[in-house]
Amino acid sequence: MARHTVTLIPGDGVGPEITEATVRVLEATGVEFEWDVQQAGMNVMEAEGTPLPQRVLDSILRNRTALKGPMTTPVGTGFRSVNVAIRQALDLYACVRPIKAYRGAKNIRDDLDFVIVRENTEDIYAGIEFAKGSPDCVELIADISRRAGKPIRPDSGLSIKPISVMGSERIVQFAFDQARRDGRRKVTAVHKANIMKHTDGLFLDVARKVAARNPDIEFEDRIVDNMCMQLVLRPYEYEILVCPNLYGDIISDLGAGMIGGLGLAPGANIGTNGSVFEATHGSAPKYAGQNRVNPMALMLSGVLMLRHLDESAAAGALESAIADVLAEGKSVTYDLKPNRNDPTAVGTSQVADAIVARLRAGA
């Protein structure tokens, strides 16, 4: 059996405990890993002067696959977000967020099974912003007002939204490839092209062209506000949603809410220079070191990683073991219990014990 070398970033806050739990269940599948452990985040700030030392990026570039715990963005480090910095440095342009209702979770309905593919590198997240009253902002407001023939109020701030043909083309093609990989039949492009004709309109035009090159998969588009309503009313009609950055961010959290919250929302960031698998949630600092939070979101990210490494049998076994433990509802953390103070809730580590036991029983 192949041995996979994977960069392991425990992160900070609850990161180390959910990472430990996830490593245990991944190893219990029988797949062999060599973990290239790279500390990052708050814990290395003092010693290394940055939460994101270059060695971490080098390790991911070398191994091409990483499993990552959440990281707090320390205030005043020059990083808007350490997590976004990793995605940008490695050009991890596709964020994949499956929204799946497992029995035993607090789903708003039981027929949820769609995947959000979010563009990760451009749109309003490009970080091109101008503070109200700054000389650049004043100059830009005058210039844009003149060119557009529409006055912008002088007390405005500006955030720029670039959307490119190249960025749109690769994310939409990624969505079609993802559909094929997952055996799904339809891709839906999400946009607001009726209002933002030169950014979302461009995204939609490109999406239609890419769709024409992928005729084996059905294609349609939805305006983002309607999309949100449709997801609540008729989610079973959707399979893969491909979204520019901002709508992808918002719809991902809508999706996480539909499956009962952050404790079960996995994610993958995939790009030209590697792939980083991480939960949607953050470092939940108030729970750090308490053996309390749900490790299943990171474990399900581990399932995505196994599929990415072509270990589909192990991925299926791990997903079933997690689903069984969830459905049984005994060895689950507080967030999955009917009442948050339920004394029968178990800790992070005990969830891993129960899943490992299932995997061994099924082996």
For residue 34, the minimal CB distance to ligand NAD (Å) is 24
Residue 304: which of 52, 2, 3, 6 has the closest Cα? 6
Question: 3-class DSSP state for residue 39?
Answer: coil
Residue 349: which of 295, 302, 282 has the closest Cα? 295
CB 266 within 8 A of CB 280: yes
304 touching ligand NAD, by CB under 6 A:
no
For residue 280, the minimal CB distance to ligand NAD (Å) is 7
Residue 35, burial from CB neighbour count under 10 angstroms (0-12, 13-18, 19+): middle
Out of 10, 16, 70, 266, name the contact with ligand NAD by CB under 6 A.
70
Q: Does 225 qualify as catalytic in the annotation?
A: yes
Q: How far apart are CA 294 and CA 303, in angstroms?
A: 16
Q: Does 125 qualify as catalytic in the annotation?
A: yes
Out of 17, 249, 324, 335, name the contact with ligand NAD by CB under 6 A.
335
Out of 94, 95, 262, 268, name the contact with ligand NAD by CB under 6 A.
262
Q: Does 150 qualify as catalytic in the annotation?
A: no
Active-site position among 91, 110, 225, 342: 225
73 touching ligand NAD, by CB under 6 A:
yes
Q: How far apart are CA 211 and CA 165, in angstroms?
A: 14
Single-letter amino acid, residue 353: D
In the 3-class helix/strand/coil scheme, how is 181-219 assigned residue by residue? HHCCCEEEEEECCCCCCCCHHHHHHHHHHHHHCCCCCEE
CB 351 within 8 A of CB 321: no
Task: Check residue 131 and report its DSSP letter.
Answer: -
Out of 122, 239, 249, 278, name the contact with ligand NAD by CB under 6 A.
278
The residue behind tokens 């036991």 is: 357
Nearer to ligand NAD, 199 or 274 (CB): 274
Range in contact with ligand NAD (rule: CB under 6 A) among 57-65, 140-148, 206-214, 289-297? 289-297
Out of 72, 188, 199, 331, name the contact with ligand NAD by CB under 6 A.
72
For residue 163, the minimal CB distance to ligand NAD (Å) is 23
Range in contact with ligand NAD (rule: CB under 6 A) among 44-52, 189-197, 275-283, 303-311? 275-283
Q: How far apart are CA 239 and CA 188, in angstroms?
A: 8
For residue 216, the minimal CB distance to ligand NAD (Å) is 34
Range in contact with ligand NAD (rule: CB under 6 A) among 71-79, 133-141, 163-171, 310-318? 71-79
For residue 254, the minimal CB distance to ligand NAD (Å) is 15
N-to-C CA span, the chain: 16
Range in contact with ligand NAD (rule: CB under 6 A) among 68-76, 127-135, 190-198, 229-237? 68-76
The residue count for binding ligand NAD (CB under 6 A) is: 19
Nearer to ligand NAD, 105 or 202 (CB): 105
294 touching ligand NAD, by CB under 6 A:
yes
Give buried/exposed letters for 76-115 (b at 16+ CB in 10 A, else e).
eeebeebbbbbbbebebbbbbbbbbbbebbbbeeeebebb
281 touching ligand NAD, by CB under 6 A:
yes
Active site residues: 125, 192, 225, 249
Contact residues: ligand NAD, CB under 6 A: 70-73, 81, 83, 262-263, 278, 281-286, 293-294, 297, 335
